[in-house]
Amino acid sequence: MKAFDIITEADARGLEIGGSVTLKTGGHITPLAADTLRARRVTVHQGVAEASLDGLAPVAAIRSLAIGSDHSGVALKGLLRDYLRQKGLSVLDVGTDGPDPVDYPDIAAQAARLVARREVDAAIVIDGAGLGSAIAANKIDGVRAAMCNDKTLARYAREHNGANVLTLGATLISTDEAKAIVDTWLATPMGEARYIRRLVKVRALEKTQ
């Protein structure tokens, strides 16, 4: 996405209705351009340099993961942990390991923070349905978590939405289905610029109330 030093009336009229534009730090919008941008419902991202797309796309070749679960996903977590290690991946198990109840937000946040801090390339979090962990993980700035219960959703989550955290519902899928979902998710990169550019808007939402 091009970042403008100045946006003129001509520039504004050339932008897609309902689209977005990036204005560099210290950049300027002419008065007529401002009116046109409002009329065309164009969102202006302020103070974002051209390098703003750097780091938005998830790691394409995932080599390290965190994996965690609440008590309902312990068995599936252990199976996937061993399966991924056998494939040569570095897998950090963040718990839990027993039947005693634990709160899914704690596990999801722990795994998500490792991704946000780039201590691992991605994470997998498991609970009963996968929904709660996705909601919790998405509260961490820089994390895009998606609950997937089939291979199609896993592919879309990565290719279109740049998901760097996958959540699974242990009560909804079999172990073979879980392996297939994880394999698809890991193997799908996010390469198209149009998808990556849309993550600028997602990131902007993280900064608003």
Residues in the chain: 209
Is the torsion defined by CA of 176, 182, 186, 189 positive or negative?
positive
Tokens 């994390």 belong to residue: 143
Residue 160 a catalytic site member: yes
Q: Kindly report each contact of residues 155-161 with a partner whose C-beta sits within 8 Å and lies 24 or more positions away, as own/partner.
A: 155/184, 155/185, 155/188, 157/185, 158/58, 158/185, 158/188, 158/189, 158/190, 159/188, 159/189, 159/190, 159/191, 159/192, 159/195, 160/190, 160/195, 161/195
| Coil vs helix vs strand at 134 | helix
**Residue with tokens 């409002």, as numbered in its chain:** 38
Q: Which tokens hold the place of 113? A: 């923070």
Active site amino acids = 160
